[in-house]
Amino acid sequence: MPTDRTPETPDAGTAEDPPRSSRRLVLGSGLAAAPAILAVAPPAAAQQQPQAVPRTLEDPRQAHPRPPFPRQEQPWPGLAARMQPRPDHGEASYQGAGRLAGRRALITGGDSGIGRAAAIAYAREGADVAINHLAEEEEDAREVLELIRKAGRKAVSIPGDIREEAFCTRLVERAAGELGGLDILVNNAARQTAQKSIADITTEQFDATMKTNLYAMFWITKAAMPRMPPGSVIINTASVVAYDPPKMLLDYSMTKAAIVSFTHGLAKQAAEQGIRVNAVAPGPYWTPLQPSGGQLPDALPQFGAEAPLGRPGQPAEIAAIFVLLADARSSFTSGAVFDSTGGRPGP
């Protein structure tokens, strides 16, 4: 995760009492090396200690727009460019620190929402990024590709419908081919359609939700794993509804619960290949899923108001978690589900 704060050093000492880390360096180097070290070490008074960089605190309740929002509807799959207010994916705020330098990532649903935030963050952390999206999402996708390129990284667009197994296989092959390999896979694309009753869920809707959220994740992961070297990571986007399903999101909640179980089980298998598998479980996030059928139209103006922080999350606020899980420094983290819910309890 990016930071503009220099880590504090409570062990630092003073000019009269040199830092303990310096004393350990001298003593731990052996007596033979000590004279050389002492000869080049500046006086204690001249040694500069890291200084904490002041950072303005911000009330998380007021950090981003709060409901009520304008009433709005879009046809599936929806565009971030047409939302009011427009979501914040970190376009102007995310600052990288080289945590993913040289990495190669494939992100489904990378044109908008949480996938777009992850794509921006990954590029600014030094990764080359391929995004998958539907042809109808080209307007959003072009913006993401431009942001990746402005970060100095390679950007690859692979449009297509992940409900088709053959396309999922081609998606992985093309991403790995154009990026020169693959070591980060983010299964993020999702279908969400709110219905008041099970009687209103058609077989067509049920099938589309299952294939987008579950079948595609299975097909893409199965195709990707043989190409991923030890040290690679797989990150799946689950949801808080996996634990507390709303009555209007019956089929969607089923898939998110399955993603949690898939993550737990696959982490055990993938460990044999040196691959880590984790999931992120967002709460209410302001993405095109919501106005394109993910919420009932009358409920959308108050979307996120039920969260303890009183508002929905913006995609920029979850990007750092995707970076954390992809970072090699999280090498012992696998089989975990990270919640980001605005204060709502997880499982």
Give catalytic residues, as residue numbers: 252
Pick from 147, 149, 264, 164: which is nearest to 215 by CA?
164
CA distance 173 to 139: 24
- For residue 66, give the amino acid letter: R
Handedness of CA 333, 339, 342, 344 (dihedral sign): negative
* Pairing state between β 128-133 and 337-340: unpaired
CA distance 265 to 267: 5
| Helical (H) or strand (E) element with 263 | helix 250-270
Please say whether the beta carbons of 132 and 158 come within 8 A.
Answer: yes
Beta-carbon-side half-sphere exposure of residue 35 (alpha carbons within 13 Å): 1
- For residue 92, give the amino acid letter: A
DSSP string, 276-293: EEEEEEE-SB-STTIIII
Counting every residue written for the chain, the total comes to: 347
Pick from 228, 233, 227: which is nearest to 267 by CA?
233
Coil, helix or strand for 123?
helix
| Contacts of residue 111, Cβ cutoff 8 Å, sequence gap at least 6 | 80, 131, 133, 137, 140, 141, 144
